[in-house]
């Protein structure tokens, strides 16, 4: 029989007391008003895996940042940067070699001993060996050389400038215990949702699928003490449900929908800070250059000029998002100052281009996902194109169907794809944004079927340059090439609106608003 703890007794007593409701405090909050400092936050999805070699969702990464150590980590703030975490020192020896030295005394839980260079080698190399979906984040990683217990060298086949802001401080750079993983999985494979050992400031104390994940302090942690005793993460996939949960007091930190931002700004919940951060997403309208109706560049350019981006954003985002200048968002190397085609477009120019192409009474299709925001974009574009005589048929599809449309291995649907609305999310290095549009990606993720030898060369060049200004020029040129093809109309990079209760916490976020829970402090 389960014993009744003091907390359980207090919860029961508190809930039963009649004064709760009259005090205006949610019952759930009273019941959870436990001793100690508890951070209650919303995540956009539940956990599928906690193995850093297979992490795919932001919600998982936010949690695993708390339970595993990395060599480096993202700096909280409004500018992208990194700082040391498990590494005492890390340096680029030459374009393909990075030497690191670990801090001493970082322990794995469960008597798996100290975190060593062997664990670093195991953690990084297993991503490649296990052919993980996130393997591309490690670029051309070849292997890790172990020099001694605390030192090693990460060796790449080719220069990989993205290493500092993509794999090292991100999830794929999280370090697991070789001994623990081998014991749990025999072959060092995917350990799913049961971490065999922890190396971060928190441990996963409890996880109820689709309900909550509870992190508590790691008693073996020797580093700086994080601000909260417990972190309770509630998976709330629906943005509107999350907004209601915040308003009801069930969570104290959440990302909200851009379409709700204006309402929250005009009538903010009590004690709330509203933060707006540039997201790492990019949304655009793509055009299949191989489709007979879109083969003529004048038709594609006419569509570019006919789309009034600010008007689209007013409809879909309630005017709370600014027009994109390309695919690389503000704050990331390679962000362009402006587009080649002005965001407002020009209908007369569009008509001229259609005349030049000799096209009249054109009917096209636009594929998109069936969420409300994307549907609003599609409907606005439909209305805009009708002004130049283009009739647009909108096919709103569920995500599972949509994401297979342009993939050649999934059948012949790619041949019928004409216009489509895409949203990708990137990591904070320009490489992660442009690499999907090289010729090798045609029929995979390059649904525009955009082919440019120059673009491919620049993609390779961008990875071998360390100077940020020089790199920026490369990626700006690449976006010029994309736009000049007529196959892209860049819409927005969006912003991430975040609500948090300033009376409960000092939040710490990456520049894109991603929470860094271990840096949160009680107010």
Partner 1 sequence: MWIYLLKRVFLAVAITVIAVTLVFMMIHAVPGDPAVALLGPRATPEMIAHLHREMGLDKPLAVQIVIFFEGLLQGNLGFDVLSQRPVADIIFEQLPYTIELIFVSILWAVAIAVPLGCYSAMRRNSVIDQIVAIMAVATIAIPSFVMAVYALLIFAVTLHWLPAVGAGQGFLDGLVHLILPAFAVGIGWVGYISRLVRASMMEILGENHVRMARSFGISEWRIVLHYALPLAILPTVTILGVGIAWLLSSAVFIEVVFARPGIGALIVQAVNTRNYAVVIGAVLVTTVVTVLATTASDLIAASLDPRTREKL
Contacts with partner 1 by CB under 8 A lie at 8, 11-12, 15, 21, 24-29, 31-32, 48-49, 56, 131, 133-137, 190-193, 208-212, 234-238, 241-242, 244-245, 247-251, 397-405, 407, 409-411, 413, 424, 436, 444-445
State how far the Cα of 232 lies from the Cα of 15, in Å rounded to an integer: 20
State how far the Cα of 60 lies from the Cα of 485, in Å rounded to an integer: 37
Write down the least CB distance from residue 299 to partner 1, Å: 27
Give the CA distances from residue 268 to residues 93, 259, 265, 414, 450, in Å, rounded to whole numbers and listed in that order.
50, 14, 5, 45, 45
Q: DSSP character for 106?
A: -
Write down the least CB distance from residue 102 to partner 1, Å: 29
User: Which residues have a Cβ under 8 Å from the Cβ of 469 and sit 6 or more positions away?
Assistant: none
- Cβ closest to partner 1, residue 61 vs residue 134: 134
At 366, give phi and psi (nearest 5°).
-130, 115
- Cβ closest to partner 1, residue 36 vs residue 209: 209
Write down the least CB distance from residue 296 to partner 1, Å: 29
For 477, the 3-state DSSP assignment is helix
What is the token pair recorded at 347?
């209908």
Nearest to 366 by CA among 405, 404, 340, 339: 405
Let me know: does 246 contact 256? Beta carbons within 8 Å: yes
- Cβ closest to partner 1, residue 363 vs residue 401: 401
- Cβ closest to partner 1, residue 298 vs residue 423: 423
- Cβ closest to partner 1, residue 352 vs residue 371: 371
Let me know: does 166 contact 435? Beta carbons within 8 Å: no
Dihedral-angle region of residue 448 (phi above 0 means left; psi in -120 to 50 means alpha; beta otherwise): alpha
- Cβ closest to partner 1, residue 256 vs residue 313: 256
The vertex-195 CA angle with 191 and 199, nearest 5°, equals 130
| Alpha-helical runs (H) found in 165-308 | 178-185, 239-248, 258-266, 297-306
State how far the Cα of 202 lies from the Cα of 225, in Å rounded to an integer: 10
- CA torsion through residues 393, 398, 403, 404, sign: negative
SS (H, E, C) 360-382: CCCEEEEEEECCHHHHHHHHHHH
- Cβ closest to partner 1, residue 386 vs residue 425: 425
State how far the Cα of 381 lies from the Cα of 307, in Å rounded to an integer: 6
User: Which residues have a Cβ under 8 Å from the Cβ of 272 and sit 6 or more positions away?
Assistant: 264, 499, 500, 501, 502
Write down the least CB distance from residue 46 to partner 1, Å: 8
Write down the least CB distance from residue 445 to partner 1, Å: 5
Let me know: does 335 contact 328? Beta carbons within 8 Å: yes
Sheet of 202-208, strands arranged across: 202-208, 212-217, 230-235, 38-43, 253-255, 495-501, 272-278
């Amino acid at each position: 029989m389960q014993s009744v703890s003091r907390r359980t007794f207090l919860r029961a007593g508190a809930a039963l007391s009649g004064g709760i409701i009259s005090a205006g405090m949610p019952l759930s909050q009273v019941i959870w008003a436990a001793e100690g400092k508890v951070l209650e936050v919303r995540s956009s999805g539940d956990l599928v895996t906690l193995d850093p070699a297979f992490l795919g969702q932001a919600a998982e990464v936010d949690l695993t940042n708390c339970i595993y150590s990395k060599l480096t980590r993202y700096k909280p703030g409004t500018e992208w940067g990194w700082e040391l975490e498990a590494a005492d020192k890390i340096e680029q020896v030459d374009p393909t070699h990075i030497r690191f030295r670990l801090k001493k005394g970082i322990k794995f839980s469960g008597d798996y001993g100290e975190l060593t260079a062997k664990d670093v080698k195991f953690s990084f190399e297993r991503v490649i060996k296990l052919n993980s979906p996130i393997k591309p984040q490690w670029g051309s990683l070849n292997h890790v050389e172990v020099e001694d217990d605390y030192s090693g060298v990460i060796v790449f086949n080719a220069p990989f400038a993205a290493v500092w802001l993509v794999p090292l401080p991100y999830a794929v750079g999280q370090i697991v215990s070789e001994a623990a993983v081998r014991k749990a999985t025999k072959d060092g494979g995917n350990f799913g949702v049961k971490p065999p050992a922890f190396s971060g400031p928190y441990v996963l104390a409890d996880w109820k699928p689709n309900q909550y994940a509870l992190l508590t302090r790691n008693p073996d942690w020797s580093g700086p003490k994080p601000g909260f005793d417990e972190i309770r993460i509630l998976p709330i996939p629906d943005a509107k449900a999350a907004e209601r949960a915040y308003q009801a007091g069930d969570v104290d930190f959440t990302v909200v929908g851009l379409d709700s931002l204006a309402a929250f700004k005009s009538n903010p919940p009590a004690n709330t800070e509203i933060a707006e951060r540039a997201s790492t997403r990019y949304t655009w309208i793509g055009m299949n250059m191989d489709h007979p109706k879109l083969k003529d560049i004048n038709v594609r350019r006419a569509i570019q000029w006919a789309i009034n981006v600010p008007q689209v954003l007013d409809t879909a985002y309630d005017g709370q998002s600014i027009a994109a200048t390309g695919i690389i968002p503000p704050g990331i190397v390679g962000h362009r100052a402006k587009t080649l085609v002005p965001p407002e477009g020009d209908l007369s120019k569009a008509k001229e281009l259609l005349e030049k192409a000799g096209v009249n009474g054109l009917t096209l299709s636009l594929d998109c996902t069936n969420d409300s925001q994307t549907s609003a974009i599609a409907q606005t574009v439909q209305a805009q194109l009708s002004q130049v005589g283009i009739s647009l048929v909108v096919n709103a599809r569920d995500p599972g169907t949509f994401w297979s449309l342009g993939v050649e291995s999934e059948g012949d649907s790619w041949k019928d794809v004409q216009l489509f609305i895409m949203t990708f999310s990137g990591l904070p290095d320009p490489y992660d944004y442009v690499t999907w549009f090289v010729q090798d990606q045609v029929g995979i993720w390059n649904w525009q079927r955009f082919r440019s030898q120059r673009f491919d060369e620049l993609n390779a060049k961008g990875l071998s340059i360390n100077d940020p200004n020089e790199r920026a020029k490369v990626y700006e040129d690449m976006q010029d090439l994309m736009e000049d093809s007529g196959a892209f109309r860049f819409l927005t990079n969006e912003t991430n609106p975040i609500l948090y209760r300033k009376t409960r916490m000092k939040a710490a976020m990456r520049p894109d608003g991603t929470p860094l829970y271990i840096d949160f402090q009680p107010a």
